[in-house]
A and B are shown apart, each in its own frame.
Chain A
Amino acid sequence: ELKVEQNPLFLSMQEGKNYTIYCNYSTTSDRLYWYRQDPGKSLESLFVLLSNGAVKQEGRLMASLDTKARLSTLHITAAVHDLSATYFCAVGPSNSNYQLIWGAGTKLIIKP
Chain B
Amino acid sequence: DAGVIQSPRHEVTEMGQEVTLRCKPISGHNSLFWYRQTMMRGLELLIYFNNNVPIDDSGMPEDRFSAKMPNASFSTLKIQPSEPRDSAVYFCASSRDRLFTEAFFGQGTRLTVV
Is A42 a contact partner of B108 (Cβ separation < 8 A)?
yes
Is A41 touching B107 in the complex (CB atoms < 8 A)?
yes
Chain A interface category by residue count: 20 to 34
A102 lies within 8 A of chain B by Cβ: yes
Q: Is the CB of A50 within 8 A of B101?
A: yes
B34 interface contact, C-beta 8 A? no
Q: Does B70 lie at the interface of the complex (its beta carbon under 8 Å from any beta carbon of A)?
A: no
Q: With A98-B31, A99-B56 as given contacts, are A92 and B99 in contact (CB-CB < 8 Å)?
A: yes
Contacting residue for B100 out of A41, A44, A92, A104, CB 8 A: A92
A42 neighbours in B (Cβ, 8 Å): 91, 105-108
The secondary structure that dominates the B interface is strand
Which residues on B sit within 8 Å (CB–CB) of A33? 100
Q: Is A70 an interface residue (CB 8 A)?
A: no
Min Cβ gap B36→A in Å is: 11
CA distance A98 to B59 in the complex (A): 13
Q: Chain A interface: which of B11-19, B20-28, B40-48, B77-85?
A: B40-48
Beta-carbon contacts of B25-67 to A below 8 Å, as 1s and 0s?
0000001010000000011010010100001100000000000
Per-residue interface assignment for chain A, residues 43 to 86, with 1 indicating a CB less than 8 Å from any chain B CB and 0 otherwise: 11100101000000000000000000000000000000000000
Q: Which residues of B contact A (CB under 8 A)?
A: 31, 33, 42-43, 45, 48, 50, 55-56, 91, 93, 98-101, 103-108
